[in-house]
Amino acid sequence: MLENRGLEIVVIAVVVLLLFSAKRLPDSARALGRSLRILKSEVGAMRPGSPESPESLEQHDHTAR
C-alpha cells in the first residue's frame, strides 16, 4: 500500500486538475491557505498560556478591576 504512494499522489493531482479548471485552481488554493491560516490562529488562541487564550484574557480582566 505504501509503495504506490507516489502513484496515488499523481492520480489525485490529475483528478484535481480535471475537476477544477486552471482558472479556478489558484483561487481554490488561496482560499485553502486562508482557511488554514485562520484555523492555525484559532488553535493557537485556544492553547493555555497564549496571549489570546480565554484563560489569560480572564486573568487580565480580574486584575484590571
With H, G, I as helix, E, B as strand and everything else as coil, classify residue 47: coil
Distances in whole angstroms, Cα of residue 7 to Cα of each of 2, 43, 46, 48, 55: 10, 33, 38, 41, 47
* The predicted structure's pLDDT at residue 44: 87
Going from N- to C-terminal start, the domains of the chain cover: 22-65
Average pLDDT, the chain: 77
Q: Report the alpha-carbon distance of residue 19 to residue 57 in Å, rounded.
A: 45
d(CA 56, CA 33): 28
Residues 21-40 pLDDT 10s = 777 878 888 999 999 999 99
pLDDT at 39: 95
